[in-house]
Chains A and B, each alone.
Chain A
Amino acid sequence: METATAYPKARSICAQKDVRQLERDLETLKALALEKGAASAFVVNAKDMPWLENASARSGEEDYSSAHWPLKYPKDSIRDAAAAFEKAIFFVVDTPPRAIDPGQGPIDDKTVRAACKTIYEIAAAVEAAAFYMGHHLTLGFAHANCRAVFCPQEKRCWGEIKGRVCLHPYKARPSMAACGMDSKALAAACGIEDKASANWAAGIVFVD
Protein backbone atom coordinates (compact mmCIF):
# COMPACT_ATOMS: atom_id res chain seq x y z
CA MET A 1 0.00 0.00 0.00
CA GLU A 2 1.31 3.42 -0.83
CA THR A 3 2.06 5.64 2.11
CA ALA A 4 -0.38 8.47 2.59
CA THR A 5 1.79 11.19 1.08
CA ALA A 6 3.65 9.18 -1.58
CA TYR A 7 2.14 10.76 -4.67
CA PRO A 8 4.81 13.07 -6.05
CA LYS A 9 3.62 12.77 -9.64
CA ALA A 10 0.18 13.36 -11.08
CA ARG A 11 -1.25 10.20 -12.60
CA SER A 12 -2.59 10.42 -16.12
CA ILE A 13 -6.33 10.03 -16.63
CA CYS A 14 -7.45 6.54 -17.63
CA ALA A 15 -9.89 5.88 -20.42
CA GLN A 16 -11.56 3.17 -18.35
CA LYS A 17 -11.84 2.89 -14.58
CA ASP A 18 -9.31 0.54 -12.93
CA VAL A 19 -11.23 -0.98 -10.03
CA ARG A 20 -8.18 -2.44 -8.27
CA GLN A 21 -6.30 0.85 -8.49
CA LEU A 22 -9.34 2.61 -7.09
CA GLU A 23 -9.39 0.24 -4.10
CA ARG A 24 -5.72 0.93 -3.42
CA ASP A 25 -6.25 4.65 -3.77
CA LEU A 26 -9.19 4.60 -1.37
CA GLU A 27 -7.03 2.99 1.31
CA THR A 28 -4.34 5.59 0.72
CA LEU A 29 -6.86 8.40 0.96
CA LYS A 30 -8.36 6.96 4.14
CA ALA A 31 -4.90 6.89 5.68
CA LEU A 32 -4.36 10.47 4.58
CA ALA A 33 -7.55 11.64 6.26
CA LEU A 34 -6.39 10.02 9.52
CA GLU A 35 -2.93 11.53 9.13
CA LYS A 36 -4.44 14.99 8.72
CA GLY A 37 -6.41 14.77 11.94
CA ALA A 38 -9.56 12.72 11.43
CA ALA A 39 -10.59 10.62 14.43
CA SER A 40 -11.90 7.96 12.07
CA ALA A 41 -12.32 7.49 8.36
CA PHE A 42 -14.34 5.05 6.28
CA VAL A 43 -14.69 4.01 2.68
CA VAL A 44 -18.40 4.23 1.87
CA ASN A 45 -20.56 3.57 -1.17
CA ALA A 46 -21.82 6.79 -2.65
CA LYS A 47 -25.20 5.24 -3.44
CA ASP A 48 -25.72 4.50 0.28
CA MET A 49 -25.68 8.22 1.11
CA PRO A 50 -28.76 9.11 3.20
CA TRP A 51 -30.37 12.42 2.24
CA LEU A 52 -32.31 14.94 4.32
CA GLU A 53 -35.22 17.00 3.11
CA ASN A 54 -35.23 20.82 3.54
CA ALA A 55 -31.49 20.72 3.98
CA SER A 56 -30.95 24.38 3.20
CA ALA A 57 -33.34 25.60 5.89
CA ARG A 58 -31.57 28.00 8.19
CA SER A 59 -30.90 26.86 11.68
CA GLY A 60 -30.56 30.27 13.30
CA GLU A 61 -32.59 33.46 13.38
CA GLU A 62 -29.76 35.57 12.07
CA ASP A 63 -29.36 35.95 8.34
CA TYR A 64 -26.03 34.22 7.89
CA SER A 65 -26.10 33.14 4.30
CA SER A 66 -22.93 32.51 2.30
CA ALA A 67 -21.95 31.47 -1.20
CA HIS A 68 -22.22 27.85 -0.02
CA TRP A 69 -25.25 27.97 2.28
CA PRO A 70 -27.94 27.89 1.08
CA LEU A 71 -26.71 26.30 -2.12
CA LYS A 72 -27.19 28.38 -5.27
CA TYR A 73 -26.95 25.93 -8.14
CA PRO A 74 -30.01 26.76 -10.25
CA LYS A 75 -28.74 24.73 -13.22
CA ASP A 76 -27.23 21.75 -11.42
CA SER A 77 -28.23 19.01 -9.02
CA ILE A 78 -25.86 18.01 -6.23
CA ARG A 79 -27.77 14.75 -5.76
CA ASP A 80 -27.27 13.81 -9.41
CA ALA A 81 -23.57 14.58 -9.08
CA ALA A 82 -23.23 12.52 -5.89
CA ALA A 83 -25.15 9.64 -7.47
CA ALA A 84 -22.61 9.53 -10.31
CA PHE A 85 -19.87 8.48 -7.87
CA GLU A 86 -19.25 4.95 -6.61
CA LYS A 87 -17.01 5.44 -3.60
CA ALA A 88 -16.31 8.14 -1.04
CA ILE A 89 -14.13 8.71 2.00
CA PHE A 90 -16.27 9.68 5.00
CA PHE A 91 -14.35 11.02 7.99
CA VAL A 92 -15.15 12.48 11.39
CA VAL A 93 -13.31 14.89 13.63
CA ASP A 94 -13.93 15.17 17.37
CA THR A 95 -15.34 18.46 18.56
CA PRO A 96 -15.25 19.70 22.17
CA PRO A 97 -17.73 18.01 24.54
CA ARG A 98 -21.18 19.59 24.70
CA ALA A 99 -20.43 21.67 21.60
CA ILE A 100 -23.61 22.58 19.74
CA ASP A 101 -23.77 21.91 16.05
CA PRO A 102 -23.71 25.44 14.59
CA GLY A 103 -25.65 24.42 11.47
CA GLN A 104 -25.71 27.37 9.09
CA GLY A 105 -25.10 29.95 11.83
CA PRO A 106 -22.00 31.66 13.23
CA ILE A 107 -19.54 29.79 15.46
CA ASP A 108 -18.69 31.68 18.63
CA ASP A 109 -16.56 28.95 20.24
CA LYS A 110 -12.99 29.10 18.89
CA THR A 111 -12.30 25.43 19.59
CA VAL A 112 -15.40 24.42 17.65
CA ARG A 113 -14.33 26.70 14.79
CA ALA A 114 -10.88 25.13 14.84
CA ALA A 115 -12.40 21.65 14.65
CA CYS A 116 -14.57 22.69 11.72
CA LYS A 117 -11.54 24.22 10.00
CA THR A 118 -9.76 20.89 10.40
CA ILE A 119 -12.58 19.25 8.45
CA TYR A 120 -12.17 21.76 5.64
CA GLU A 121 -8.43 21.10 5.61
CA ILE A 122 -8.87 17.34 5.55
CA ALA A 123 -11.48 17.60 2.77
CA ALA A 124 -9.11 19.80 0.75
CA ALA A 125 -6.12 17.51 1.27
CA VAL A 126 -7.99 14.29 0.46
CA GLU A 127 -9.71 15.86 -2.53
CA ALA A 128 -6.41 17.20 -3.91
CA ALA A 129 -4.72 13.83 -3.42
CA ALA A 130 -7.58 12.03 -5.18
CA PHE A 131 -7.45 14.56 -8.01
CA TYR A 132 -3.74 14.04 -8.64
CA MET A 133 -4.24 10.28 -8.46
CA GLY A 134 -6.29 10.67 -11.63
CA HIS A 135 -9.78 10.78 -10.08
CA HIS A 136 -10.34 14.11 -11.74
CA LEU A 137 -14.01 14.49 -10.81
CA THR A 138 -13.51 14.10 -7.05
CA LEU A 139 -15.59 16.43 -4.84
CA GLY A 140 -15.19 17.15 -1.14
CA PHE A 141 -17.70 18.53 1.36
CA ALA A 142 -17.07 19.79 4.87
CA HIS A 143 -18.99 20.86 7.96
CA ALA A 144 -20.76 24.05 9.09
CA ASN A 145 -21.05 27.28 7.14
CA CYS A 146 -17.75 28.18 5.45
CA ARG A 147 -18.46 31.82 6.28
CA ALA A 148 -18.45 30.99 10.01
CA VAL A 149 -15.15 29.15 9.62
CA PHE A 150 -13.17 31.41 7.27
CA CYS A 151 -14.83 34.82 7.45
CA PRO A 152 -16.23 35.26 10.96
CA GLN A 153 -15.16 38.90 11.06
CA GLU A 154 -16.71 39.86 7.70
CA LYS A 155 -20.09 41.56 7.71
CA ARG A 156 -21.13 39.78 4.52
CA CYS A 157 -19.95 36.89 2.42
CA TRP A 158 -17.89 38.42 -0.41
CA GLY A 159 -18.77 35.54 -2.72
CA GLU A 160 -22.42 36.58 -2.55
CA ILE A 161 -21.80 40.19 -3.56
CA LYS A 162 -22.17 40.91 -7.28
CA GLY A 163 -18.83 41.81 -8.78
CA ARG A 164 -16.79 40.46 -5.88
CA VAL A 165 -15.22 37.08 -5.39
CA CYS A 166 -14.86 34.68 -2.51
CA LEU A 167 -12.01 35.60 -0.15
CA HIS A 168 -11.03 31.98 0.15
CA PRO A 169 -11.38 30.39 -3.27
CA TYR A 170 -10.30 26.73 -3.40
CA LYS A 171 -10.81 26.42 0.39
CA ALA A 172 -14.41 27.35 1.15
CA ARG A 173 -16.84 24.66 0.11
CA PRO A 174 -20.36 23.48 0.95
CA SER A 175 -20.99 21.36 3.99
CA MET A 176 -22.65 17.97 3.94
CA ALA A 177 -25.68 19.45 5.67
CA ALA A 178 -26.03 22.29 3.14
CA CYS A 179 -26.18 19.67 0.38
CA GLY A 180 -28.77 17.64 2.24
CA MET A 181 -26.51 14.76 3.20
CA ASP A 182 -27.41 13.15 6.52
CA SER A 183 -24.01 12.76 8.15
CA LYS A 184 -25.51 11.35 11.37
CA ALA A 185 -27.28 8.54 9.56
CA LEU A 186 -24.16 7.79 7.55
CA ALA A 187 -22.03 7.80 10.70
CA ALA A 188 -24.47 5.41 12.36
CA ALA A 189 -24.18 3.13 9.34
CA CYS A 190 -20.39 3.25 9.82
CA GLY A 191 -20.75 2.26 13.47
CA ILE A 192 -20.28 5.65 15.12
CA GLU A 193 -22.69 6.12 17.98
CA ASP A 194 -24.34 9.50 18.30
CA LYS A 195 -24.09 9.89 22.07
CA ALA A 196 -24.92 13.27 23.55
CA SER A 197 -21.54 13.44 25.23
CA ALA A 198 -19.55 12.33 22.19
CA ASN A 199 -19.41 15.22 19.79
CA TRP A 200 -18.09 14.98 16.36
CA ALA A 201 -18.37 16.66 13.00
CA ALA A 202 -18.00 15.03 9.62
CA GLY A 203 -16.86 15.58 6.09
CA ILE A 204 -16.87 13.50 2.94
CA VAL A 205 -14.84 13.30 -0.24
CA PHE A 206 -16.44 11.57 -3.22
CA VAL A 207 -13.58 9.95 -5.07
CA ASP A 208 -14.76 8.12 -8.21
Chain B
Amino acid sequence: MKNAIQGQRKGPYKPRVMPTDLDELQWLAKKWGADDAVAIKTSEVLTDPRVRFKCMVPKCYMSGGCGHCPPNGYTLEDVRKMLDAHDWAVFFRVKVPAPIIAAKGLGKFIADGNMDPAGNLFNLGGHYLLTFSIVKLLQKTLSEMGYVSRAGFAAGNCRDALCHFQPNCMDLATGSCRHADLSSPSMESCGMDAFTMAARQGWEVYPIGGTCEPESVGGGNLMGLVLIASENKPGLLESPTTLQHPLPPKAKTADNNLGERLKQRRKEARRSLDAMKQSQVTPALLLAMARERKIWTRFTKNLHELYGSWGKVLAKNHLMFSGQPRNKAQGC
Protein backbone atom coordinates (compact mmCIF):
# COMPACT_ATOMS: atom_id res chain seq x y z
CA MET B 1 0.00 0.00 0.00
CA LYS B 2 2.81 2.40 0.96
CA ASN B 3 4.67 1.87 -2.33
CA ALA B 4 1.48 2.45 -4.29
CA ILE B 5 1.02 5.79 -2.56
CA GLN B 6 4.55 6.92 -3.31
CA GLY B 7 3.89 6.48 -7.04
CA GLN B 8 2.25 8.88 -9.48
CA ARG B 9 -0.96 10.22 -7.93
CA LYS B 10 -2.10 13.08 -10.12
CA GLY B 11 -4.46 12.11 -12.84
CA PRO B 12 -7.72 12.94 -14.66
CA TYR B 13 -10.96 13.01 -12.74
CA LYS B 14 -12.40 9.56 -12.08
CA PRO B 15 -15.93 8.76 -13.24
CA ARG B 16 -16.81 7.01 -9.98
CA VAL B 17 -15.40 6.42 -6.51
CA MET B 18 -13.12 3.39 -6.49
CA PRO B 19 -13.17 1.01 -3.48
CA THR B 20 -9.37 0.79 -3.51
CA ASP B 21 -9.17 4.57 -3.17
CA LEU B 22 -11.51 4.45 -0.19
CA ASP B 23 -9.22 1.89 1.45
CA GLU B 24 -6.24 4.13 0.78
CA LEU B 25 -8.00 7.16 2.26
CA GLN B 26 -8.81 5.28 5.44
CA TRP B 27 -5.20 4.17 5.70
CA LEU B 28 -3.99 7.72 5.11
CA ALA B 29 -6.32 9.18 7.72
CA LYS B 30 -4.80 6.82 10.28
CA LYS B 31 -1.30 7.62 9.07
CA TRP B 32 -2.02 11.30 9.64
CA GLY B 33 -3.14 10.72 13.20
CA ALA B 34 -6.70 9.38 13.24
CA ASP B 35 -7.25 6.51 15.68
CA ASP B 36 -10.00 5.04 13.52
CA ALA B 37 -11.31 5.78 10.04
CA VAL B 38 -14.11 4.26 7.98
CA ALA B 39 -15.61 4.92 4.59
CA ILE B 40 -19.36 5.40 4.74
CA LYS B 41 -22.01 6.33 2.22
CA THR B 42 -23.31 9.89 2.59
CA SER B 43 -26.76 8.39 3.19
CA GLU B 44 -25.37 7.06 6.52
CA VAL B 45 -24.54 10.56 7.73
CA LEU B 46 -27.13 11.47 10.37
CA THR B 47 -28.47 15.02 10.44
CA ASP B 48 -30.75 16.12 13.25
CA PRO B 49 -32.40 19.53 13.92
CA ARG B 50 -31.61 19.16 17.64
CA VAL B 51 -27.84 19.07 17.30
CA ARG B 52 -27.26 22.77 16.58
CA PHE B 53 -29.48 23.67 19.51
CA LYS B 54 -26.97 22.01 21.83
CA CYS B 55 -24.80 25.05 21.15
CA MET B 56 -27.58 27.53 21.82
CA VAL B 57 -29.68 26.04 24.61
CA PRO B 58 -28.17 26.93 26.98
CA LYS B 59 -25.87 29.34 25.19
CA CYS B 60 -22.30 28.11 24.86
CA TYR B 61 -19.62 30.73 25.53
CA MET B 62 -18.70 30.73 21.81
CA SER B 63 -22.23 30.64 20.40
CA GLY B 64 -22.42 33.35 17.76
CA GLY B 65 -18.77 34.27 18.30
CA CYS B 66 -17.37 32.28 15.42
CA GLY B 67 -18.44 32.15 11.78
CA HIS B 68 -19.23 28.45 12.06
CA CYS B 69 -20.90 28.41 15.49
CA PRO B 70 -24.70 28.43 15.74
CA PRO B 71 -26.75 30.53 15.21
CA ASN B 72 -24.22 31.20 12.41
CA GLY B 73 -23.08 28.46 10.07
CA TYR B 74 -25.06 26.36 7.61
CA THR B 75 -28.72 25.46 7.62
CA LEU B 76 -29.67 21.81 7.78
CA GLU B 77 -31.00 22.15 4.27
CA ASP B 78 -27.61 23.35 2.99
CA VAL B 79 -25.87 20.47 4.73
CA ARG B 80 -28.24 17.94 3.19
CA LYS B 81 -27.56 19.45 -0.23
CA MET B 82 -23.83 19.03 0.39
CA LEU B 83 -24.35 15.41 1.42
CA ASP B 84 -26.60 14.66 -1.56
CA ALA B 85 -23.99 16.12 -3.90
CA HIS B 86 -21.41 13.56 -2.74
CA ASP B 87 -21.35 9.75 -2.77
CA TRP B 88 -19.04 8.68 0.01
CA ALA B 89 -17.38 10.07 3.07
CA VAL B 90 -14.40 9.25 5.22
CA PHE B 91 -15.45 9.38 8.86
CA PHE B 92 -12.64 9.35 11.39
CA ARG B 93 -11.94 9.99 15.04
CA VAL B 94 -9.03 11.29 17.09
CA LYS B 95 -9.16 9.96 20.62
CA VAL B 96 -8.47 12.32 23.51
CA PRO B 97 -7.48 10.88 26.89
CA ALA B 98 -10.02 11.47 29.66
CA PRO B 99 -7.57 13.36 31.94
CA ILE B 100 -7.26 15.99 29.20
CA ILE B 101 -10.74 16.35 27.76
CA ALA B 102 -12.59 15.90 31.06
CA ALA B 103 -10.06 17.66 33.29
CA LYS B 104 -11.72 19.13 36.36
CA GLY B 105 -12.58 22.78 35.94
CA LEU B 106 -11.49 22.85 32.32
CA GLY B 107 -14.81 24.34 31.23
CA LYS B 108 -14.10 27.52 33.18
CA PHE B 109 -10.68 27.97 31.57
CA ILE B 110 -12.16 27.38 28.13
CA ALA B 111 -14.92 29.94 28.66
CA ASP B 112 -12.44 32.50 30.04
CA GLY B 113 -9.99 31.93 27.19
CA ASN B 114 -7.14 31.14 29.58
CA MET B 115 -4.72 28.23 29.71
CA ASP B 116 -4.95 26.01 32.76
CA PRO B 117 -1.66 25.53 34.65
CA ALA B 118 -1.57 21.79 33.90
CA GLY B 119 -1.61 22.44 30.16
CA ASN B 120 -4.70 20.30 29.49
CA LEU B 121 -6.38 23.02 27.43
CA PHE B 122 -3.22 23.50 25.40
CA ASN B 123 -2.99 19.80 24.65
CA LEU B 124 -6.70 19.58 23.94
CA GLY B 125 -6.07 22.31 21.38
CA GLY B 126 -3.38 20.12 19.87
CA HIS B 127 -5.91 17.33 19.33
CA TYR B 128 -8.31 19.75 17.67
CA LEU B 129 -5.55 21.08 15.41
CA LEU B 130 -4.70 17.52 14.44
CA THR B 131 -8.33 16.91 13.46
CA PHE B 132 -8.37 20.05 11.30
CA SER B 133 -5.15 19.01 9.56
CA ILE B 134 -6.46 15.50 8.79
CA VAL B 135 -9.56 16.97 7.12
CA LYS B 136 -7.49 19.26 4.91
CA LEU B 137 -5.00 16.56 4.02
CA LEU B 138 -7.82 14.22 3.01
CA GLN B 139 -9.36 16.92 0.84
CA LYS B 140 -6.00 17.67 -0.78
CA THR B 141 -5.42 13.97 -1.45
CA LEU B 142 -8.89 13.58 -2.94
CA SER B 143 -8.10 16.32 -5.41
CA GLU B 144 -4.84 14.58 -6.36
CA MET B 145 -6.69 11.28 -6.76
CA GLY B 146 -9.12 12.83 -9.24
CA TYR B 147 -12.12 13.35 -6.99
CA VAL B 148 -13.95 16.40 -5.72
CA SER B 149 -14.60 17.26 -2.10
CA ARG B 150 -16.58 20.43 -1.59
CA ALA B 151 -17.12 19.80 2.08
CA GLY B 152 -15.02 18.70 5.02
CA PHE B 153 -16.01 18.85 8.67
CA ALA B 154 -13.87 18.78 11.79
CA ALA B 155 -14.69 19.15 15.50
CA GLY B 156 -15.20 22.02 17.88
CA ASN B 157 -15.01 25.70 17.08
CA CYS B 158 -12.09 26.69 14.88
CA ARG B 159 -11.69 30.08 16.56
CA ASP B 160 -10.43 28.63 19.85
CA ALA B 161 -7.90 26.40 18.13
CA LEU B 162 -6.69 28.66 15.33
CA CYS B 163 -7.45 32.21 16.47
CA HIS B 164 -7.10 31.77 20.20
CA PHE B 165 -5.07 34.95 20.67
CA GLN B 166 -7.14 37.07 18.32
CA PRO B 167 -9.93 39.28 19.67
CA ASN B 168 -12.44 38.36 16.97
CA CYS B 169 -13.43 35.95 14.22
CA MET B 170 -12.27 37.52 10.96
CA ASP B 171 -14.87 35.58 8.97
CA LEU B 172 -17.66 37.21 10.97
CA ALA B 173 -16.07 40.63 10.69
CA THR B 174 -15.09 40.62 6.99
CA GLY B 175 -16.32 37.42 5.31
CA SER B 176 -12.74 36.17 4.91
CA CYS B 177 -10.97 33.72 7.19
CA ARG B 178 -7.46 34.02 8.63
CA HIS B 179 -6.98 30.26 8.33
CA ALA B 180 -9.10 29.28 5.33
CA ASP B 181 -6.45 26.67 4.47
CA LEU B 182 -6.90 24.87 7.80
CA SER B 183 -10.31 25.78 9.18
CA SER B 184 -13.43 23.68 8.72
CA PRO B 185 -16.86 23.80 10.31
CA SER B 186 -17.47 21.10 12.90
CA MET B 187 -19.83 18.22 12.24
CA GLU B 188 -22.02 19.30 15.14
CA SER B 189 -22.28 22.92 13.97
CA CYS B 190 -23.67 21.49 10.73
CA GLY B 191 -26.35 19.51 12.50
CA MET B 192 -24.67 16.11 12.21
CA ASP B 193 -25.20 13.69 15.08
CA ALA B 194 -21.56 12.63 15.25
CA PHE B 195 -22.07 10.82 18.58
CA THR B 196 -24.66 8.41 17.21
CA MET B 197 -22.71 7.97 14.00
CA ALA B 198 -19.64 7.01 16.03
CA ALA B 199 -21.66 4.66 18.25
CA ARG B 200 -22.95 2.92 15.10
CA GLN B 201 -19.34 2.26 14.10
CA GLY B 202 -18.78 0.57 17.45
CA TRP B 203 -16.67 3.45 18.80
CA GLU B 204 -17.15 4.12 22.48
CA VAL B 205 -18.49 7.64 22.86
CA TYR B 206 -19.21 9.41 26.14
CA PRO B 207 -21.15 12.63 26.67
CA ILE B 208 -18.61 15.07 28.03
CA GLY B 209 -19.69 18.37 29.50
CA GLY B 210 -18.42 21.02 31.83
CA THR B 211 -19.17 19.15 35.04
CA CYS B 212 -17.84 15.69 34.35
CA GLU B 213 -14.53 14.41 35.67
CA PRO B 214 -11.90 12.11 34.18
CA GLU B 215 -13.07 9.16 36.30
CA SER B 216 -16.60 9.40 34.96
CA VAL B 217 -15.81 9.01 31.26
CA GLY B 218 -13.79 6.45 29.34
CA GLY B 219 -12.24 9.04 27.07
CA GLY B 220 -13.17 11.58 24.45
CA ASN B 221 -13.32 11.64 20.67
CA LEU B 222 -12.96 14.37 18.12
CA MET B 223 -14.72 13.34 14.94
CA GLY B 224 -14.16 14.49 11.38
CA LEU B 225 -15.85 13.84 8.07
CA VAL B 226 -14.70 14.47 4.51
CA LEU B 227 -17.12 14.10 1.60
CA ILE B 228 -16.10 12.48 -1.67
CA ALA B 229 -17.68 12.74 -5.09
CA SER B 230 -16.75 11.89 -8.63
CA GLU B 231 -16.54 14.91 -10.90
CA ASN B 232 -19.68 14.09 -12.90
CA LYS B 233 -21.95 13.72 -9.86
CA PRO B 234 -25.17 15.65 -10.64
CA GLY B 235 -25.66 18.80 -8.57
CA LEU B 236 -22.09 18.76 -7.29
CA LEU B 237 -20.98 22.17 -8.44
CA GLU B 238 -24.27 23.81 -7.46
CA SER B 239 -24.17 22.49 -3.91
CA PRO B 240 -23.02 24.72 -1.04
CA THR B 241 -19.39 24.33 -0.06
CA THR B 242 -17.46 24.55 3.20
CA LEU B 243 -14.33 25.82 1.46
CA GLN B 244 -13.72 29.32 2.79
CA HIS B 245 -12.46 32.60 1.44
CA PRO B 246 -8.92 33.44 2.58
CA LEU B 247 -7.91 36.92 3.65
CA PRO B 248 -6.47 38.94 0.76
CA PRO B 249 -2.65 39.38 0.98
CA LYS B 250 -1.41 42.61 2.58
CA ALA B 251 -0.64 45.26 -0.02
CA LYS B 252 2.98 46.51 -0.08
CA THR B 253 3.22 50.26 0.28
CA ALA B 254 5.92 52.68 -0.84
CA ASP B 255 6.67 53.69 2.75
CA ASN B 256 7.40 50.13 3.76
CA ASN B 257 11.12 50.55 4.23
CA LEU B 258 13.12 48.15 6.37
CA GLY B 259 13.05 50.35 9.46
CA GLU B 260 9.30 50.75 9.31
CA ARG B 261 8.77 47.05 8.71
CA LEU B 262 10.94 46.11 11.69
CA LYS B 263 9.10 48.60 13.85
CA GLN B 264 5.78 47.12 12.74
CA ARG B 265 7.03 43.58 13.41
CA ARG B 266 8.19 44.53 16.90
CA LYS B 267 4.81 46.09 17.61
CA GLU B 268 3.00 42.97 16.43
CA ALA B 269 5.30 40.71 18.44
CA ARG B 270 4.69 42.76 21.57
CA ARG B 271 0.94 42.59 21.06
CA SER B 272 1.09 38.83 20.52
CA LEU B 273 3.15 38.38 23.67
CA ASP B 274 0.65 40.49 25.61
CA ALA B 275 -2.18 38.35 24.24
CA MET B 276 -0.40 35.17 25.30
CA LYS B 277 0.33 36.60 28.72
CA GLN B 278 -3.33 37.55 29.09
CA SER B 279 -4.29 33.97 28.20
CA GLN B 280 -1.85 32.72 30.86
CA VAL B 281 0.48 31.06 28.40
CA THR B 282 3.71 30.27 30.25
CA PRO B 283 6.91 28.35 29.40
CA ALA B 284 5.53 25.54 31.62
CA LEU B 285 3.19 24.70 28.77
CA LEU B 286 6.20 23.35 26.91
CA LEU B 287 6.36 20.58 29.51
CA ALA B 288 2.69 19.85 28.93
CA MET B 289 3.37 19.80 25.20
CA ALA B 290 6.12 17.24 25.79
CA ARG B 291 3.59 14.93 27.46
CA GLU B 292 1.54 14.91 24.26
CA ARG B 293 4.51 15.15 21.92
CA LYS B 294 3.09 12.46 19.63
CA ILE B 295 0.09 14.64 18.83
CA TRP B 296 2.12 17.81 18.34
CA THR B 297 4.74 16.02 16.25
CA ARG B 298 2.05 14.46 14.08
CA PHE B 299 0.33 17.83 13.64
CA THR B 300 3.60 19.49 12.63
CA LYS B 301 4.33 16.75 10.10
CA ASN B 302 0.79 17.08 8.75
CA LEU B 303 1.33 20.79 8.25
CA HIS B 304 4.52 20.04 6.34
CA GLU B 305 2.68 17.61 4.12
CA LEU B 306 -0.07 20.16 3.59
CA TYR B 307 2.13 23.16 2.81
CA GLY B 308 5.17 21.47 1.36
CA SER B 309 7.86 23.47 3.17
CA TRP B 310 9.09 24.03 6.71
CA GLY B 311 9.13 27.76 6.06
CA LYS B 312 5.39 27.71 5.49
CA VAL B 313 4.89 25.54 8.57
CA LEU B 314 6.77 28.13 10.63
CA ALA B 315 4.72 30.91 9.08
CA LYS B 316 1.49 29.08 9.94
CA ASN B 317 2.59 28.54 13.53
CA HIS B 318 3.55 32.21 13.74
CA LEU B 319 0.09 33.18 12.52
CA MET B 320 -1.63 30.86 15.01
CA PHE B 321 0.28 32.38 17.92
CA SER B 322 -0.23 35.95 16.73
CA GLY B 323 -2.85 38.14 18.21
CA GLN B 324 -3.63 41.05 20.41
CA PRO B 325 -4.93 41.30 23.93
CA ARG B 326 -8.67 41.26 24.46
CA ASN B 327 -9.85 44.51 25.96
CA LYS B 328 -12.26 44.43 28.88
CA ALA B 329 -15.13 45.46 26.61
CA GLN B 330 -14.69 42.37 24.51
CA GLY B 331 -14.97 39.92 27.34
CA CYS B 332 -14.05 36.45 26.19
User: Would you call A9 and B329 a contact (CB within 8 A)?
Assistant: no
Secondary structure at chain B's binding surface: helix, strand, loop or mixed?
loop
User: Would you call B59 and A68 a contact (CB within 8 A)?
Assistant: yes
Chain B residue nearest to A160 (CB atoms) is B64
Q: Within the assembled complex, what's the spacing in Å between the Cα atoms of A174 and B50?
A: 15
User: Would you call B204 and A131 a contact (CB within 8 A)?
Assistant: no
User: Would you call A80 and B49 a contact (CB within 8 A)?
Assistant: yes
User: With A139-B53, A169-B58, A171-B58 in contact, is A14–B199 under 8 Å at CB?
Assistant: yes
Which of B2-10, B66-74, B157-165 contacts its partner?
Answer: B66-74
User: Would you call B331 and A141 a contact (CB within 8 A)?
Assistant: no
**Residues of B within 8 A of A (CB-CB), count:** 52
The residues of A that contact B56 with a CB separation of less than 8 Å are 73, 76
Q: Within the assembled complex, what's the spacing in Å between the Cα atoms of A128 and B251?
A: 50
The residues of A that contact B61 with a CB separation of less than 8 Å are 165-166, 169-170
Q: Within the assembled complex, what's the spacing in Å between the Cα atoms of A48 and B73?
A: 31
**Residues of A within 8 A of B (CB-CB), count:** 44
Does residue B93 face the partner (Cβ distance < 8 Å to A)?
no
Does residue B209 face the partner (Cβ distance < 8 Å to A)?
yes
The residues of A that contact B167 with a CB separation of less than 8 Å are 163
Chain A residue nearest to B113 (CB atoms) is A165
Q: Which of A84, A131, A159, A164 is in CB contact (< 8 Å) with B49?
A: A84
Does residue B57 face the partner (Cβ distance < 8 Å to A)?
yes
Chain B residue nearest to A169 (CB atoms) is B61
User: Would you call A10 and B332 a contact (CB within 8 A)?
Assistant: no
User: With A10-B206, A13-B207, A139-B50 in contact, is A72–B331 under 8 Å at CB?
Assistant: no
User: Would you call A173 and B58 a contact (CB within 8 A)?
Assistant: yes
Could you mark each residue 202-235 of chain B with 1 if its beta carbon is under 8 Å from any beta carbon of chain A, else 0? Answer: 1011111111100111100000000000000000
Chosen A-B contacts, 7 in total, with CB atoms closer than 8 Å, are A10-B208, A76-B70, A76-B71, A136-B207, A163-B168, A164-B329, A172-B58
B→A interface (CB under 8 Å) = 48-54, 56-65, 70-76, 107, 111, 167-168, 193, 195-196, 198-200, 202, 204-212, 215-218, 329-332
Question: Which 10 pairs across A and B sit closest by C-beta, in order of nearness?
Answer: A173-B58, A80-B49, A15-B199, A137-B50, A169-B61, A13-B205, A15-B200, A75-B75, A81-B49, A13-B199
